[in-house]
Amino acid sequence: MRIRDVVAATGLTAHTLRWYEKIGLLRSVERDRGGRRLFTQDDLRWLEFIGRLRELDMPVREMVRYAELREQGERGEATLAARRELLEGHRQRVRQRMDRLAACLTHLDDKIAWYRGQEDGHA
């Protein structure tokens, strides 16, 4: 796939894809004879995973670290524990954030219920 196909498939911009490559999130994008990027289905799956990590607010530096470990792991499985630990650490932060958001949502729901009660009492 060419970069325009990946843009269409992922919703990412060509600029973002080039930036991902520059910072090390995309490491082994092949090139054709003209130097144009050729993306594979594996690249698309990796981009989907990166997108999920971004949705979960993983810092870019951690995503780059994970990508480095992943690249090393493809030459052996010595990085499995390090990759798992990195993901577990982020999962813990996501869960803590979800707990805080749930508490905020409960407070918001209570406030909305209070307003509805006030409106019903004055109708």
pLDDT value at position 60?
96
Residue whose C-alpha is closest to residue 31's, from 72, 7, 1, 5: 1
Alpha helix segments (H runs only) across 56-79: 60-73
Quote the mean pLDDT of the chain.
Answer: 93
Say if CB 5 and CB 37 are below 8 A apart: no
> What pLDDT, on the 0 to 100 scale, is given for residue 123?
61
pLDDT digits (tens, 9 = 90+) for 45-94: 999 999 999 999 999 999 999 999 998 876 667 899 999 999 999 999 99
- From the CB of residue 20, how many other CB atoms can be counted at a distance below 10 Å? 21
The residue that leads in pLDDT, 123 or 84, is: 84
Please state the pTM of the whole predicted model: 0.82
